[in-house]
Every structure is written in structure tokens, then in C-alpha cells.
Amino acid sequence: MTNRHDVVVVGAGLAGLVATAELTAAGRRVLLLDAENRRSLGGQAYWSFGGLFLVDTPEQRRLGVRDSAELALADWLGSAQFSDDGSDRWGRAWAEGFVDFAAGELRPWLHGLGVRWFPLVQWTERGGYLADGHGNSVPRFHITWGTGPGVLEPFVRALLDARAAGLVEVRFRHRVTSLVTTDGRVTGVRGDVLAPDDAPRAEATSREVAGSFEERADAVVVATGGIGGNHELVRELWPASAGRLPDRMLSGVPAHVDGSGIEAARTAGAAVVHEDRMWHYPEGVADHSPVWPNHGIRILPGPSSLWLDADGHRLPVPLFPGFDCHGALQHITRRGDDHSWFVLDKTIMGAEFALSGSEQNPDLTGRDVPLLLQRVLPGAVGPVETFAKRSPEFVWADTPAELAAGMNALTGEGRIDAGALEHTIRERDAQVATGLGKDLQVTATAMARRYVVDKAIRVAKPHRLLDPEHGPLLAVRLSVLTRKTLGGLHTDLEGRALRPDGEVLPGLWAVGEAAGFGGGGVHGHRALEGTFLGGCLFSGRTAGRALVETLD
């Protein structure tokens, strides 16, 4: 069998598209394969909020944010907590490279491709620990104008141009099941041709096999994503030290995100590292109009809501909304709960609740300026209002006793004590009423309003939850939402896959989530947000450019 293509790229998500764009821009011939249909081009990135971790940008400087590559790297290392046993050697090297990229070439590169950003930079993962601990010291979350589809646009355009020039062949409904190896080198792929299925984007498609295929190439790039849609595997790999993931979970990714590409590479001799490192969200709510099985949406909260466990107790400091996602998740899983609660009022919901995902933000996704301007008006944005009306996870009440009754009715467990809930709310309200207070969440919320964006659109003015002017009260049941795989195929700084002995596995490369966004784990144990799309961009670009040099 002769090579008709220089490179086979497996997976047509963002990382695969970026690698393909780099290869075809240099005149290389690429075969791009994906198990889904043409409607799912772009993969998970299409559904994302489009947030990018960028450092020392014009957007930050216009808002008075003082950032630097040095500060960003210190934040990254404080969050990652890389192991010192040598297993994080490549992950840390990729992290250092990514921070330099985020502070340097990333923005001008994308800007030159036509990408633009919402001017109000958001502050995610605030941390709340000491200076050398987890969290972003400053706001760095830049929302792309057009959200996830806006990030994908230039690379989809490059794919279409390359196809017109005869440099790329795209085959959908081609599921790679194994890699071809010859004398210890990866030389191609084998798999199933799946029966035609024109289901809408991300909906479950048929796995009926209509044929088989085998293709050879000088190199294979695995860009198949992580394991978030495979709940059985997620539970199996979740570390015992972090408790137990619940039987009832939501999915932040479609069912086809199942880890099969990683497993095919492992079988061919590639090393997989840090499989127990994952980034799931504890603030998920079931989508009232699901697209894929167990479809969940993440609430992007401001800092004012009380976060309570399943028994109605406040989560410990600093596990406030928006401060330490992974810490809050592990607190819940170590308790053995399958849910937690936000308790707030209508005013806080209107000011602070946002929903992750391109489809939940039509103003930003559709680049609709009049619709976008409604975000500065009182009350919740349209999708949040709709969710609050249609979702059974939102419990409204006029008094703490009624709220407790509604919470217990929803779960059928009776774990919320009405008197204790009222006491918790009144204690918090007393701290707010002082104008100062010793409650660390109250003081952190007041500090957040020193940032102009938070004061304008993200953090409600401090007030008593039991003030009728801000009612009614609201409780939202939160579920675990699977999302990202932080470990993956072990790679060097070019994106070449490594064997278990640390040597390069010739012919195989890995990018995006399949490679832990670089090196088998660029994030270590915790992420700073905006780094998943960024990791796909960086790893796809890096591997693509390195492959061009290798193939010369």
C-alpha cells in the first residue's frame, strides 16, 4: 500500500484542525478522519464559551489590569502543583511554553486570522489561597467574539481552502480503531467506516459498521479528545484519595468523547500518564433541551451565592463560587454526595449567573451588539431567565422555611433543616449589614467589586438575602458535570508521542486533550480556565509546525 498522504490526522476538533492548517499551509498532504458526521466539524470547541487565557493584553491594560508572563507562570505553577518525581517533566515544560505563548504570539496570531474578543475580561478561578497557591491573581479570561464557533472559524476556512487546493482529504464517519506499526514505527491507521448518519451536531449517531479502511502515511496525529463522555471510565480512573464520583452525573461533552483514540495509541506502544487527573465541574445543571445524553450546562457564578453541601452546610473557605472548582468538587466527592446547592436571591441571579456554552450565549455567539447591551441592564440575560423558568433544578420561595421544603421535595431526601438554613442565611446577612464583616466570602465579594468589570456586570451590590426587595429566594441543585481530561498521551515538546521508557515512538504525534493539552498534562492538578481551547491551539500549532520540519 503506497502513501497517498503525508500525514493522517485523527479527529476534526480544534487541535486537529489547527495541526491540519499548519501542515497544509506548508504544502503537506493530509488525510483528516473523524468518526462523526460533517455537522460535528470542530468537535467540542464549537460548544464552548470561547474563553482564552491571555496575558498582558490590550484588553487587560485598558481595564487597569497589570499582568505579566512572570505572574501568570507563578499562578500556573501554584495551581498545577507539578510532581517532583520526574513524571511532570514534559507537562511543566509545556506549561512554561504555553504561558510564554499566551503572553506573546497567541493574541497577534489569532488577531491576524480575524479573531476578536469581548472587551470586558472576566476573572475566573480566583483561588482564595496564599500568594503561591491556586488561582488567577488577575482577570485573564478573554471571551472570543463569536464564542467557540468564532475560535474555529479561521481554521475551518483554512480547511476549506486546503481542500479546494487538493491538499487535504476529509473523511467523516471513519472511526480509527487501531494504529498500523511497522518495525516499531507508526505507519498508518485502521478502522471502521460507519454507516451514514446525518444527525444534528453532537447528537448520538449510529455505530453500525458499513465497511473498513486502512491508510498509510509518514506520520499520524492523534487529536481525538478525552474521556468525559465515558462515565464508566471516568469513575474507574478517578483517584480514590478524592472520594467517589456519584452514580448520577451530567455530561458536558457528547457521548463520542470516550477515550478510544488514547487507547488505540496506547495499544500501539504510546505511554499514557496522569490518567487520574481530570477537570470536572461541580456546578452543573441538567439542560432542559438536551442535545446529547445526560447533557448538562455549567453555571458560571459570581461570588455572592452561598454554596451549601447536600446537608445544607456552607462549603469551607475558600470554596466560594468561582474560586476553586476542583477543590469544591473534591469536597463534594469526599463526602460521597451527588449534589450541592447554591442559595441566593433573584437580584444575585440577575447580576451574577451566566451559562457556559456557545448555544447559551446567543449575543456573543451571534455577534449581536444590541442583544449584548442587555447584559448591563438589571435582571438576568435571556438564556438564564429561560433556564430558571424551565429547569426543575431551580427552587423559588419567599422564606427560608419554604425554600428548605422545596429543596427537600426536589431531592426526596429531607436533608435540609429549615431552621438551620434560616440561621445560616441570617448569619451571612448580619455580616453584610456591618458594611465590613469578618466572613471571608463577604469580604471577598466586596473586594471583587473593586474590579470595574465585576462591579458593572458580574457581582451584585452586597445586600441581605432576606431583604424582600431582592427576593424571592432561590436554591439551585448542582450536579457533577464531566468535562476535561488533564492527563493523556505523553509527548515531548514537539508533540511526538513517547513510549513508556521515555523514548520517542516514531511516526506518532498527539495534540489537544488526547495529550493532556501537551506533554501528557500541561495543567498538572488544576486548571486556570481559558487554557483548554488555548491548549488545543498551542499543541496543534506546535506539532503541526514541528511535523513540517520533520517531513522535509
Report the SS3 class of residue 482.
strand
* Gyration radius from the chain CA atoms: 23
Which pTM does this prediction carry?
0.97
CB contact at 8 A, 68 and 103 = yes
Q: What is the residue-wise DSSP string for 91-143?
A: HHHHHHHHHHHHHTTHHHHHHHTT--B-SS-B------S-TTSSS-SS--EEE
Between CA 503 and CA 518 the distance in angstroms is 16
Query: Cell 472576566 sits at which residue?
Result: 122
Between CA 148 and CA 368 the distance in angstroms is 15
Between CA 199 and CA 460 the distance in angstroms is 42
What count of Cα atoms within 13 Å lies in the side-chain half-sphere of residue 201?
Answer: 13
Q: Is the peptide bond before 462 cis (omega within 30 degrees of 0)?
A: no
What's the first-to-final CA gap in the chain, in angstroms?
22
Left (φ > 0), alpha (ψ -120 to 50) or beta: where does 393 sit? Answer: alpha
What does the pLDDT profile of the chain (552 residues) look like in tens digits? Answer: 456 899 999 999 999 999 999 999 999 999 999 999 999 999 999 999 999 999 999 999 999 999 999 999 999 999 999 999 999 999 999 999 999 999 999 999 999 999 999 999 999 999 999 999 999 999 999 999 999 999 999 999 999 999 999 999 999 999 999 999 999 999 999 999 999 999 999 999 999 999 999 999 999 999 999 999 999 999 999 999 999 999 999 999 999 999 999 999 999 999 999 999 999 999 999 999 999 999 999 999 999 999 999 999 999 999 999 999 999 999 999 999 999 999 999 999 999 999 999 999 898 999 988 888 777 777 767 889 999 999 999 999 999 999 999 999 999 999 999 999 999 999 999 999 999 999 999 999 999 999 999 999 999 999 999 999 999 999 999 999 999 999 999 999 999 999 999 999 999 999 999 999 999 999 999 999 999 999 999 999 999 999 999 997
Q: Which three cell numbers stand for residue 212?
A: 473498513
In the 8-state DSSP scheme, what is residue 190? E
Query: Cell 506548508 sits at which residue?
Result: 26
Report the number of secondary-structure helices (H) and strands (E) in the chain.
18, 21
Report the pLDDT value the prediction gives residue 370, as an integer from 0 to 100. 86
Q: Which three cell numbers stand for residue 542?
A: 506546535
Report the pLDDT value the prediction gives residue 1, as an integer from 0 to 100. 46
Element (H, E) at 170: strand 168-172
Letter for the amino acid at 520? G
